[in-house]
Amino acid sequence: MPTTSSDLLIVPAEQQSNLTIRAKALAFADPRSRHLLTQLDELAPQVQPVVLAGEWGTGRELLARRLHERSGRTGLFSSLNCASLSRRHGAAELFGYVPRAYAGTSGSRVGWFGTANGGSLYLDEIADLPRELQQELARVLQEGSILRLGSSQRTEVDVRLIAGSSVELAQAVEAGHFEVRLWEFIGPGLVSIPPLRERPADLLPLARHFLAQHAERLGCAPPALTSDDEAALIDYPWPGNIRELEQVLHTALLTTSTAGLQLGKLLTRLHRR
């Protein structure tokens, strides 16, 4: 589970290598971030699905883990990027299958829903689900049961669905690219995550955290941010959000000299690309 301080939400060290987590820390110094945190903590103990809408690198999965942690649910938190589902066997991966459901299988599999039974399932980039799986997911939310491939009977499940999306799902519905019935189930739980450029008070706490973290790994003392460094961080638009911030600071540490981090020069080079 994420660990917290008064202003930071951090992925534990043992989970840092999880490739599905793009943003490894969140700060809540900015008023917009504090409002977001309050909103999520109010939603956490409820059962309704939640949609975390925001750009890549804004910390959607980390917030999903926070929702699960505060939900009181005793089951597992499971995370899946919908784009990684097999186009051929997506239903079997998501909902499971029984023995000999299709050629080449002798055992069974509970699927992602079975793994998260009693807990929470985070489906990142839910718009990437094939349309037929969107339709079946809407039925799962309506009936509270799944149909495993090869079975003639549905199996009850108790799973809190948390979805993530970097696209405007309401627009996708209007364009005919997202299942309207699924949107009716998950849309009321929409939570918008502001990009890093819109919560500037979070920048410096995050920067200091990442500098300290990577300096420790490199076995050196974390350099202090100069006033010029701080100004450069605040002025940069951060299209890659928190993930980009961490990468920039890691690069700065690896290339720093006696002249200091010189983040202004580094960010100018990035901006010109």
What is the residue-level pLDDT of the chain in tens, covering all 273 positions?
A: 454 444 777 765 555 555 455 677 899 999 999 999 999 999 999 999 999 999 999 999 999 999 999 999 999 999 999 999 988 889 989 998 887 666 666 667 889 999 999 999 999 999 999 999 999 999 999 999 999 888 889 999 999 999 999 999 999 999 999 999 999 999 999 999 999 999 999 999 999 999 999 999 899 888 889 999 999 999 999 999 999 999 999 999 988 766 678 898 888 887 666
pLDDT (0 to 100) of residue 190: 97
Structure tokens at 63: 């917030």
Check residue 255 and give its pLDDT: 85
Task: Report, in angstroms and rounded to the nearest whole number, the Rg of the chain calculated over CA atoms.
Answer: 21
Strand duo 190-192 + 50-53: pairing = parallel
What pLDDT does residue 155 have?
93
pLDDT for res 13:
55
Tell me the CA distances in angstroms from 64 to 33, 94, 147, one per residue in order: 15, 18, 25
Report the distance separating Cα 137 and Cα 144, nearest Å.
10
Q: What pLDDT score does 260 carry?
A: 75
Q: Can you give the residue ranges of every domain in the chain?
A: 3-194, 197-272
CB atoms within 10 A of CB 33: 23
Q: What's the pLDDT score for residue 1?
A: 45
Q: Are 153 and 96 in contact (CB under 8 A)?
A: no
b/e code 224-234 from CB counts within 10 Å (16+ = b): ebeeebeebbe
DSSP state of 224: P
* Among candidate residues 237, 166, 233, the one with its CA nearest the CA of residue 198: 237
Fold of domain 197-272: Helicase, Ruva Protein; domain 3 (1.10.8)
Q: Which CATH class is domain 3-194?
A: alpha beta
Predicted pLDDT of residue 256: 78
